[in-house]
Amino acid sequence: MNSNPIYNYVERLSELLRVDSRQAGALHGLQPVQLEALHYLSICNRYSDTPMAVTEYLGQTKGTVSQTLKVLERKSLLTKQPDENDKRLSHLKITAKGKQLLQQLVPTPMFNKACESLDKKDQAKIVSALNQLLATLLKTNGMKSFGVCHSCRFNSRKENGDYFCDLLKQPLSVDETELICREHEGEIA
C-alpha cells in the first residue's frame, strides 16, 4: 500500500491547524508549543501533569519544555505545585485564566467551524479512522499511547463501583477515568 496519500492529507491538516494555532496564539503572545502544553495539561490526569510528562507527550527537549512552562507561569496560565510525597516532583495546574484561554483557542475556531459542517455520521467515521491510524502509528513504533484512563488495562472497578489504578495502586475518580495518562496501556479511546 502506498502511504503517501494518507501522509499528504494528515500533513496538510497538521499544517493548517498549526497556522491557525499560531495566529490564534499570537494574539495572546503565545507560541504553538505553549498552547500545545496548556492543551495537554487540560486533558491529562494527576499522574501525567509533570514537566517530564509534558516533555514526553510533546516530543520536545527538556530545555524547550522548561522555557515553555516558564512563559506560561509568567503569564499566569499555570502554576507549579510540589508533590506531597516526593519533593523532587512538581505538578502543573492550569489556572482559571489558562482554562478560559483554552476554551477560546483549542480547538481553533477554524477547526470548530469545519467540524460543525460535518454531519454526526461523518464525524464518527473520521474519529474512528484517526483513532485507528494513531493507535497503529504508536504500536508499530513502540511509542507511549497517552490514552484515556478508562480504556487502560490497569483501570479496574471495585465491587462498590469505585475505579482503581492497578498499576499505581491508587483510587480514581470518575472524572479521572476520562483523562489521558502517560502510564496508559491498551486501546486508545
What mean pLDDT is predicted for residues 115-143? 94
What count of residues does the chain have? 189
Q: Output the pLDDT for position 166.
A: 92
**Is the predicted pLDDT of residue 189 greater than 70, yes or no?**
no
The whole-chain average pLDDT of the chain stands at 93
- HSE-up of residue 77 (Cα within 13 Å, Cβ side): 25
Q: Output the pLDDT for position 173.
A: 92
The CATH number for 1-116, chosen from 1.10.10.10, 2.60.40.1260, 1.20.1090.10, 3.40.190.10, is: 1.10.10.10
- The residue ranges of every structural domain in the chain are 1-116, 118-189
* Cell numbers linked to 55: 516533555
What single letter denotes the amino acid at residue 62? K
Quote the pTM value.
0.88
pLDDT per residue as tens digits for the range 42-52: 999 999 999 99
pLDDT per residue as tens digits for the range 95-122: 999 999 999 999 988 999 999 999 999 9
Q: What is the CA radius of gyration of the chain?
A: 18
**SS3 state at 37:** helix
Which of 48, 101, 40, 49 is CA-nearest to residue 75? Answer: 101
How many Å apart are CA 131 and CA 105, to the nearest integer? 23
